A and B are shown apart, each in its own frame.
Chain A
Amino acid sequence: MLDNEVIVFATSIPVTTAAYFAARWVHERTGHTPASHPVPVGTLLIVSFLVLVGMDHEQYRAATAPLDVCLGAAIVFLSVPLVNHARMIAQNSAVVAIAVFVGSTASIATAITLPVALGTEPEIIASLAPKSATAPVATDIAGTFGGVVGLTATVAILTGVIGGVVGAPLLERCGVRDPRAVGLALGLASHAIGTARALQISREAGAFASLGMVLNAILTVALVPCVLWLLAI
């Protein structure tokens, strides 16, 4: 069991950095296949490291807190592609509004369809409903409506990873090739992880992904309470 605080603090960020570069190497070596995306591969490497050396996850998260601040700043910085494409976004505002409303409604409806059909506990349904919103928004909504916050956080991360990995090839297979539509779908369905993936496609896709992420967060705050009220949860 590795519980020396100094060692945990001294190794956590270097280990995370090493896991990221190893994951990138794997992604490049495997021809950028979706399954080898750096987020799931890097996460797997970090989780394996924590389990192998017996490092406490809470201590690891405390030691990597500076990276969380950088993640927050990175999300703030997503306003760069948004502003660079402001004119194009304004020209397509009606399309964006309709697509985001349809997408947000679909994200909530499809997340709870199976659990509702199977008569699952209301806590699980409340935990799953806001899963496509960015994690801080999703956990806040789930906490307010009796969901399990830890489960919502996990589900939101899984949603991001799944969308980041399968999103682009899935949309390509469905014939969705317009970078604006691809970006909007990735940002809406998979928040910041999907937005980071969209930025790898093009700045245009990244701009629409940022917009999709923000508008979906706002709509999720408004729609989830209505849906849970309709279901009497």
Chain B
Amino acid sequence: MILNLAQPFALLAVGTLISEKANLPMPGAIVGMLLLALYFGATGGVDTGSDRLFGKLSPHFAFLFLPVASSVLPSWPLVAGAWPLVLAAVVFGTVSTLIVTGLCAQSLFSAGNHKLKGTAQC
């Protein structure tokens, strides 16, 4: 359990080191995520301990976003001057992106499913 918990922290450190030394435009966490995926892939998949730990921790990931989200407070003066425009752009942008991506992915997935069914019938 402790080893399973240590894995993401260790790969976060390695990812951050690689990201900084290689001057990558990706944050260390993303590099670490790809490294852990490669490790799991090389060792035949996710081990039971990591899988169980992920299942226990993932419902509480929202907790870790609270300090970051509170950073809206000191940035408020920056937004305050142009808040109607910024808020409109963020809401419009996020809602449009969700709809466009969701509908595009769903139609492509269902087209793929139909194709697979067609192939199976043939």
Measuring CB to CB, which residues of chain A are less than 8 angstroms from any residue of chain B? 16-17, 19-20, 37-40, 42-43, 46-47, 50-51, 57-58, 60-61, 64, 67-84, 86, 92, 95-96, 98-100, 102-103, 106-107, 110-115, 118, 120, 124, 128, 131-132, 134-137, 140-141, 148, 150-151, 153-155, 157-164, 166-167, 170-171, 174-178, 180-182, 184-186, 188-190, 192-193, 196, 199-200, 206, 210, 212, 214, 217-218, 221
Whether A76 and B72, one on each chain, are in contact in the complex, defined by CB atoms closer than 8 angstroms, is: no
**Complex Cα distance A78/B54, Å?**
8
Tell me which residues across on chain A come within 8 A of B27, comparing CB atoms. Answer: 72, 134, 136-137, 140
Whether B97 and A82, one on each chain, are in contact in the complex, defined by CB atoms closer than 8 angstroms, is: no
Whether B62 and A110, one on each chain, are in contact in the complex, defined by CB atoms closer than 8 angstroms, is: no
Chain B residues 85 to 122 lying within 8 A of chain A, measured CB to CB, are 85-106, 108-110, 112
Whether A43 and B66, one on each chain, are in contact in the complex, defined by CB atoms closer than 8 angstroms, is: yes
**A186's contact among B11, B37, B66, B98, by CB below 8 Å, is which?**
B98
Whether B69 and A39, one on each chain, are in contact in the complex, defined by CB atoms closer than 8 angstroms, is: yes
**Complex Cα distance A176/B27, Å?**
31
Which of A51, A73, A134, A140 gathers the greatest number of chain B CB atoms within 10 Å?
A73
**Complex Cα distance A206/B37, Å?**
15
- B73 at interface by CB-CB < 8 Å: yes
Tell me which residues across on chain A come within 8 A of B51, comparing CB atoms. Answer: 80, 84
**A162's contact among B16, B78, B94, by CB below 8 Å, is which?**
B94
**B78's contact among A80, A151, A163, A192, by CB below 8 Å, is which?**
A151
Whether B85 and A210, one on each chain, are in contact in the complex, defined by CB atoms closer than 8 angstroms, is: no
Whether B37 and A83, one on each chain, are in contact in the complex, defined by CB atoms closer than 8 angstroms, is: yes
* 27 A-B pairs in the complex with CB atoms less than 8 angstroms apart: A43-B69, A51-B73, A72-B32, A76-B11, A76-B35, A78-B33, A80-B40, A83-B37, A98-B108, A103-B100, A106-B97, A107-B97, A110-B96, A131-B90, A132-B93, A135-B68, A136-B29, A137-B26, A150-B75, A155-B79, A157-B68, A181-B102, A181-B106, A188-B101, A192-B61, A214-B30, A217-B26
**A47's contact among B36, B72, B78, B101, by CB below 8 Å, is which?**
B72
**Complex Cα distance A150/B80, Å?**
12
**Complex Cα distance A16/B73, Å?**
15
Tell me which residues across on chain A come within 8 A of B74, comparing CB atoms. Answer: 57-58, 150
Chain B residues 16 to 49 lying within 8 A of chain A, measured CB to CB, are 16, 25-30, 32-37, 40-41, 45-46
Whether B15 and A112, one on each chain, are in contact in the complex, defined by CB atoms closer than 8 angstroms, is: no
Tell me which residues across on chain B come within 8 A of A186, comparing CB atoms. Answer: 98
4 tightest A-B CB contacts, nearest first: A103-B101, A136-B27, A185-B102, A181-B105
CB distance from B61 to the nearest CB of A (A): 4
Whether A151 and B105, one on each chain, are in contact in the complex, defined by CB atoms closer than 8 angstroms, is: no
**A43's contact among B58, B72, B96, B97, by CB below 8 Å, is which?**
B72
**CB nearest neighbor in A for B16:** A72
Whether A132 and B85, one on each chain, are in contact in the complex, defined by CB atoms closer than 8 angstroms, is: no
Tell me which residues across on chain A come within 8 A of B37, comparing CB atoms. Answer: 79, 82-83
**Complex Cα distance A115/B101, Å?**
22
Tell me which residues across on chain B come within 8 A of A171, comparing CB atoms. Answer: 98-99, 102
**Complex Cα distance A68/B41, Å?**
27
CB distance from A155 to the nearest CB of B (A): 6
Whether A189 and B72, one on each chain, are in contact in the complex, defined by CB atoms closer than 8 angstroms, is: no
